[in-house]
Structure 1
């Protein structure tokens, strides 16, 4: 994360550097492309995906300098990036997302990708919501790699059949099914008691209980009336019910272990982003047969988490040329297909061939297009698209405190308003 005080320091440090370099990605260059790439995709399908990009870059004559930083959440990488920028030695391309992109752009740290964007017609192939993530002041400063949908239910059909239930389509149905499962001695909801997982469930409940407009006002616009409303009380009421549907051993459990509970039939459902699909796939399970993927109850909403690479201001024609080549490759249809098949996500662009993608991915693609057209495609708060830094932290602190105590819904709502005001 990039905190406000650090960004002020970064902005000051960059003033001289940026004016001296006056370099943008769009500048003409004859040098061989080169790029140092800072990222935190270091294991499993993520590592394979990065390797695919590296090979494509080298095949085009580029020199790739790999700079991985272990740590799935990216906090370790963020610390490395801040130190590099402050030292006047930023990497060419950095994996960052959401408001962090806007903050680095505001500090004057990012280059201009408009030439590549115009050549590839990014405005035509990217949904507006995704464009807004990677643009600053109307200019492209980063390139999106993928889209992860957050608001998924992953369910074991055999377990649901034991109580004669289907995957619920409303929160009332969810509660009714969960009560039947509890009565049958089955864990209704596999969950890991980690703050970000609590926040993931919370934002799907906000979307489903409050609706699109409420989600926009409360989690994106930070409207105090919405945050302190009776609707938010109802959201916390539903969260209290959700707390009763998890098993006693949930505290500290990693998300993939919760997914395994669904696979083994120990629990009926899990609410988690589509990175969970990789666990099912690794176990050789088939969607629609061995497990079910369905959106959490809502009025057609879609919560997205999207990874991007931002191109930082660098010196040297070889680095500038490398950034342009990277941007071209990352949003090309070939790499968008290859990368997202490895990653378990879906392409950021909407025109990638679908033949190799599974049923869950195709549903996600269809739903994303529909949500984009209907104005219901929303950025995830829990995963640093709608909010980041102190604001996101304030949400998570209150949500987790409520989920792990007997705090009333009214008290949680009041605490949320106070915490967000303090964080703004």
Structure 2
């Protein structure tokens, strides 16, 4: 429908979009220019550079980012964690120890929905946990040596290990039902983006009391993200252009960014928004984002279409899901398949 409207010369004024879709429309010359309002309001100084990669094209601002969702989170039922006698897992070895202890205690250790994007969300965390340089080389630079090498083989072996901690009915389960398993104590933990927090809050659960939010073990100090943005299309009338500028300005207003993201569970797209209104997990998200932005360890999420174009993402999904479902002899076979699939998709 969007394509038809743009082709007919009747584009919408603004469209909520994600990642590479924005850049694809920009490459076609279909998007407008928000640089004037962006310059006047100093967006360049407050929006993380990695995020600007999807908000700007050819040096022009083409979209206004509403938020930053970070995807490398683990949500843990606190009572289930306490029952293991272990602390919050900080390393891969810690994580396996906690999962084993939860299994011994008779609950499903990992609440998970067997859908390609959910499998890929877990794998995103595993790969990032093996090193930020490795993540960048594999998923952003699409380096064949990183995609098919020994480190990737180990990442797939870890994914295969995690697949042993899900319940028998995981296949096809929606993510929010996996969250419910953790909320209800049927499962110990879920590896999911920060939108999962809304499920816990809606159920009346309190961060730090009923559940804990931690970065995927090994990814502390780094963040993988996706971001909701409003792209502005090329419009003719001055009135429509003024409306676009006004809307973009409203989206980027710090007060709005705070109010919206408190409800959505994400972090503001601006790094200068006060964290007063946010809960413990929200404060942590904002601090992590600022740290990752400063350190150059803020990366678009492979699983959520912010690391590579859709064709590559879909090829990656196929291999990850096959690996999660035991279709490769070992991690090395999966890594070889991944390198091949990504090469074919480019």
TM range (shorter): over 0.9
Work out the CA distance in 1 between the residues paired with 2:324 and 2:266. 29
CA RMSD of aligned residues (A): 1.0
Residue deviations 1:356-405, cap 9 Å, x none?
11110000000110111111111111111112311100010110111112
* Aligned-partner SS, 2:313: helix
Contact 2:66–2:269 (8 Å) recurs in 1: yes
Is 1:170 aligned with 2:91? Answer: yes
Residue deviations 1:238-272, cap 9 Å, x none?
00000001111100111011001111111111000
Contact 1:337–1:347 (8 Å) recurs in 2: yes
Contact 2:74–2:190 (8 Å) recurs in 1: yes
Is 1:274 aligned with 2:274? Answer: no
Work out the CA distance in 1 between the residues paired with 2:98 and 2:261. 33
* Aligned-partner SS, 1:268: strand
Shift of 1:167: 2.1
Is 1:422 aligned with 2:344? Answer: yes
Name structure 2 gaps, 5 residues minimum: none
Could you list the structure 1 runs, at least 4 aligned residues long, displaced by more than 2 angstroms after superposition. none
* Aligned-partner SS, 2:205: coil
Is 1:312 aligned with 2:221? Answer: no
Structure of greater Rg: 1
Contact 1:157–1:166 (8 Å) recurs in 2: no
* Aligned-partner SS, 2:133: helix
* Aligned-partner SS, 2:173: coil
Work out the CA distance in 1 between the residues paired with 2:274 and 2:313. 35
User: Any residues of structure 2 matched to 1:276-315 within 5 Å, and which?
Assistant: 276-299=196-219, 300-315=221-236
Q: Of residues 66, 83, 101 in structure 1, which corresponds to 2:22?
A: 101
Work out the CA distance in 1 between the residues paired with 2:105 and 2:257. 44
TM norm structure 1: 0.80
Work out the CA distance in 1 between the residues paired with 2:88 and 2:191. 12
Work out the CA distance in 1 between the residues paired with 2:135 and 2:313. 14
* Aligned-partner SS, 1:244: helix
Work out the CA distance in 2 between the residues paired with 1:103 and 1:406. 34
Work out the CA distance in 1 between the residues paired with 2:94 and 2:104. 15
Work out the CA distance in 1 between the residues paired with 2:282 and 2:43. 22
Shift of 1:161: 1.6
Shift of 1:298: 2.3
Contact 1:381–1:388 (8 Å) recurs in 2: no
Q: Of residues 105, 109, 112 in structure 1, which corresponds to 2:33?
A: 112
User: Any residues of structure 2 matched to 1:391-406 within 5 Å, and which?
Assistant: 391-406=312-327
Match of 1:354 in 2: 275
Shift of 1:341: 1.8
TM norm structure 2: 0.97
* Aligned-partner SS, 2:68: strand
Shift of 1:292: 0.4
Work out the CA distance in 2 between the residues paired with 1:322 and 1:199. 38
Contact 1:98–1:387 (8 Å) recurs in 2: no
Residue deviations 1:314-345, cap 9 Å, x none?
12122111111111111011211121122111
* Aligned-partner SS, 2:338: helix
Is 1:343 aligned with 2:264? Answer: yes
Match of 1:158 in 2: 79
Match of 1:213 in 2: 133
Is 1:409 aligned with 2:331? Answer: yes
Shift of 1:121: 0.2
Work out the CA distance in 2 between the residues paired with 1:353 and 1:343. 16
Contact 2:160–2:326 (8 Å) recurs in 1: no
Match of 2:300 in 1: 379
* Aligned-partner SS, 2:165: coil
Match of 1:265 in 2: 185
* Aligned-partner SS, 2:16: strand
Residue deviations 1:99-119, cap 9 Å, x none?
211111111011111101011
Name structure 1 gaps, 5 residues minimum: 1-79
Contact 2:262–2:282 (8 Å) recurs in 1: no
Contact 2:154–2:332 (8 Å) recurs in 1: no
Shift of 1:353: 2.0
Q: Of residues 329, 352, 364 in structure 1, which corresponds to 2:250?
A: 329
